Amino acid sequence: MTSKSPTAIVPPRFASPSIFMWVVVVGFAAFFIQGFMSAEVSGERLIQGAGNMGTFFAQSFPPDFTRLEPILWAMLETLNMAVVGVTFGVILSIPFALLCSSNTAPNAAVRWVSRMVVATFRTIPDLIWALIFVVAVGLGPLAGILAIIMDTIGFCARFFSERIEEIRPGPSEALTATGAGRMSVIMGAILPESMASITATSLYSVEKAIRSAVVLGLVGAGGIGVELSTSMRMFRYDQALTIILVILVVVIAVEQVSSAIRKRVI
Amino acid sequence: MAAVQVASLHKRFKDIHVLRGLDFTVQPGEGVVLLGANGCGKSTMMRCLNGLTPISGGHTYINDRCLQNASRKEVRQLRRKVGVVFQKFNLVNNLSVYQNVLYGAIGRSPWGLLSTMSPLASAEERDKAMACLERVSLADKANQRAEELSGGQQQRVAIARMLMQEPEIVLADEPIASLDPKSGREVMELLWDVVRERGLTVICTLHQLDIALEYGDRFLGMKAGMIEIDAPRKEVSKDLLNTLYQGQVRVDTLSPVATPTTQPQAANA
């Protein structure tokens, strides 16, 4: 039962958009139309594409399980790459996160530099890291592991640092008040307070790393991607389907395990 | 030797002048209760005493040692002598009660945090921590996570942590403001008992006048960033203390004053 004051103005049904919104909308529309045109989308091509998909599935059925053993070994290598890469990545992310957070960085310059470094790690896609490391250390899982380490730091250091910045200041102050040094406060209060979130993020990055480890093989960085790309190039679509099924099962299994652990931690 | 001394202490947060020239001295063993309305600067003043909040002017002394002229290492050494009990307990929530109490020894341990981690702590420190928990009647909760305890119990753990620090001076900033009246009284009684049996100096801010009158030997009253009342127990009455809570609007600014517990963050920013 609110009474209207005589000076109140009823908001209009439609507010006219600001100039900024006009620029954004027109810019987006122009970019979208140009992109759609340059992709040369035509009904003919789509129909042809659907036909090719049909050919692929027709040739890939039934899946060929004769090479299942080497495929499983390659899948294991992929898992190894993901787990080893994420483990090192998470361990390295913690000091990076501490240097990036406003409440733990020694000074603004260090914070700015570490944020730039982490942003660079994150901005360069994992596939490009893999290409670089294949050049550096040669074909094989080591290049994949290194690529995953970089990708994990880019992702984890950022999320760890966000969590570290939003924890309650109280416990750290309590330790500071006992005469504790900076490192003691970080290790004794700040990390324990953010540990649940750090664990959850790390588990998520395992899932993420397994998906990317699969793809990294395509550029020669070890694991099941190598098998997949070989089968595709040799038009052995029945073998390719087996590989895709193995990937599907493993990725789903890892996600289930990881989310089960996460539920217990949080 | 004075335990705590404050000389023309000023504190500004940007354009808000929170503390406007405080002067007082607290002798060893004295039990001081500090009163004042919300926003009068009590908590800020308490945080200035052990250097958690840097001051804008004047000096503060712990055991006659000036905090403003001390190096970072010396400030840490001075903080070891000053136990703090916070309004919000400030325990590390997902660690055990026992570990939280052990943390009290960080400042005075040779290896800092390492020598107070439960698996690495010396047998002597471990026994001390249990003794502190027994003193606050929570020995049976040692293995529980701090966050599982009630507010009153958490504040008792915080008192145990303070005892573990073996301080000479205790600063208690509204130690019972977050508690219900019954546990508030219990905690206040416990706090005053442990402080008294060890002969420690204490400065305690309180909101409840009736409780305040039961404890302090000496009363400091703050109003708008200045000391209005400084009187021994026999000279104070509830009526005198009540004058602190009248006309709460600041003279120099009519803008609402942030509560002192949130101000320090602005200072750190």
Q: How far is B204 from chain A (nearest CA, A)?
A: 16
Q: Domain for residue B195, yes or no?
A: no
Contact state of B84 with A170 under an 8 Å Cβ cutoff: no
Single pTM value for the model: 0.79
A121 neighbors A154 (Cβ within 8 angstroms): yes
Q: Domain for residue A10, yes or no?
A: no
Q: Domain for residue B74, yes or no?
A: yes
Q: Domain for residue B238, yes or no?
A: yes
Quote the mean pLDDT of chain B.
86
Domain that holds residue A91: 69-265
Q: For position A5, what pLDDT does the model report?
A: 56
Q: How far apart are CA A180 and CA A183, in angstroms?
A: 8
* Chain A residues touching B78 at Cβ < 8 A: 179
* Chain A residues touching B110 at Cβ < 8 A: none
CB pairs under 8 A between A and B: 79
pLDDT confidence bin for A6, thresholds 50/70/90? low
Q: Domain for residue B154, yes or no?
A: no
Q: Domain for residue A1, yes or no?
A: no
Q: Where are the beta strands (DSSP E) in B95-241?
A: 169-173, 201-205, 218-223, 226-232
- Report B:61-100 residues touching A (Cβ under 8 A): 76-80, 82-84, 86, 88-95
Mutate to test the interface with A, among B103, B111, B114 (most CBs of A within 10 A): B103
pLDDT at A113 exceeding the cut of 60: yes
Q: What is the ipTM of this complex?
A: 0.85
Q: Domain for residue B244, yes or no?
A: yes
The neighbouring-strand residues paired with B219 are B33, B231
**Which CATH number covers residue B5?**
3.40.50.300
Tokens coding B195 = 């402080």
Contact state of B90 with A196 under an 8 Å Cβ cutoff: no
Q: Across the interface, which of B95, B112, B265 has its CB nearest the CB of A180?
A: B112
Q: How far apart are CA A118 and CA B144, in angstroms?
A: 38
Determine the 3-state secondary structure of A259 from DSSP: helix
Q: How far apart are CA B36 and CA B222, in angstroms?
A: 5
**Which CATH number covers residue A147?**
1.10.3720.10
Number of folded domains that form chain B: 1
Per-residue pLDDT tens digits for B193-230? 999 999 999 999 998 888 888 888 899 999 888 998 89
pLDDT at B85 exceeding the cut of 80: yes
Domain that holds residue B211: 1-81+167-174+201-269
Q: Does B161 touch chain A (CB under 8 A)?
A: yes
Q: Domain for residue A196, yes or no?
A: yes
Longest dimension (CA), chain A: 83
The share of chain A scoring above pLDDT 90, in percent, equals 53
* Chain B residues touching A180 at Cβ < 8 A: 76, 103, 106-107, 112-113
The residues, ordered by sequence, that sit 6+ positions from B171 with a Cβ below 8 Å of its Cβ are B46, B49, B50, B82, B83, B84, B85, B202, B203, B204
- Report B:174-233 residues touching A (Cβ under 8 A): none
Q: How far apart are CA B55 and CA B8, in angstroms?
A: 11
pLDDT confidence bin for A16, thresholds 50/70/90? confident
* Chain B residues touching A181 at Cβ < 8 A: 76, 112
Q: Domain for residue B232, yes or no?
A: yes
Q: Domain for residue B42, yes or no?
A: yes
Instruction: Name which of B63, B129, B64, B135 is nearest B101 in CA terms.
Output: B129
Which ranges of chain A does DSSP label H, i.e. alpha helix?
19-38, 43-60, 68-100, 108-123, 126-137, 141-152, 158-166, 170-177, 182-185, 191-216, 224-233, 237-265
Instruction: Out of A122-131, B26-35, B66-75, B258-267, pick the least confident.
Output: B258-267
Q: Across the interface, which of B89, B106, B268 has its CB nearest the CB of A178?
A: B106
Q: Domain for residue B90, yes or no?
A: no
Q: Across the interface, which of B90, B112, B113 has its CB nearest the CB of A173?
A: B90
Q: Domain for residue A12, yes or no?
A: no
pLDDT at B261 exceeding the cut of 50: no
pLDDT confidence bin for B252, thresholds 50/70/90? very low
Q: Domain for residue A74, yes or no?
A: yes
Number of folded domains that form chain A: 1
Instruction: Out of A176-185, B50-59, B112-121, B151-160, pick the least confident.
Output: B112-121
Q: Domain for residue A204, yes or no?
A: yes
Q: Does A196 touch chain B (CB under 8 A)?
A: yes
